Amino acid sequence: MKINMINIKGKESKEIELNDKIFNITPNKFLIYEAIKNELANKRQGTSSTKTKAEVEGSGSKPHKQKGTGRARVGTKRNPVWRGGGVAFGPKPRDYSYVLPKKIKRSAYKSILSLKLKEGNLKVIENFDVQDGKTKSFIEIFKPILKEEKSSLIVSDSNNTLMIKRASNNISWINCLNYKRMMAHTLYYSKNIILTEDAALELNKFFKD
């Protein structure tokens, strides 16, 4: 499929060919969900921890006799049913991360890109440079393109990702990712996705399988 690119003035320029197997498929929302869930799980620290009745402080002796007091039967004040006692079946440090099959992850990326293009929230921009890496220079370039302050993602190629990222780092609602290091969560929840020309051409080849 062919779409019109935009230039740094925000106006349509030449056409660019996008791979239908990447940008024009039926989005699979289940795979998108699985990819986002995987990324969030891999970010979890898993440091929540509670003490069992074997780990809390307190005597192991019987607090009072078994019968005749009118109180509940109890063998130790470390029992989970009592205040200050241990926690039964509480969380312990664990690793939540898991590996998602590469085919599922790639299919999720394709689904998100196709979905955003169909919604009109994905654009391809002619290659540009922010040579000094300054926010002021970045704003001058993108002011005609991103007229509203909505969460936006710029996907670029390896050559200029660093300078774009440095220039946009002070703008809270803009993210910048390399086309090889995209994240499903960031892609899906960004209101606008801007692909540089080189990144779009690389994606045509990168996700073609």
142-200 confidence digits (pLDDT tens): 887 777 778 889 998 877 777 888 888 888 888 889 888 899 999 999 999 999 888 89
CA distance 16 to 72: 78
Nearest by Cα to 187 from 12, 31, 9 = 31
Residues 209 and 192: their CA atoms lie apart, in Å, by 26
pLDDT at residue 206, as a whole number: 79
pLDDT reported for residue 104: 94
pLDDT digits (tens, 9 = 90+) for 85-134: 999 999 999 999 999 999 999 999 999 999 999 999 999 998 887 877 78
Residues of the chain with CATH 3.40.1370.10: 2-44+100-206
pLDDT at 48: 94
- The class of domain 2-44+100-206 in CATH terms is alpha beta
Contact 133, 167 (CB under 8 A): yes
Q: Model pTM?
A: 0.83
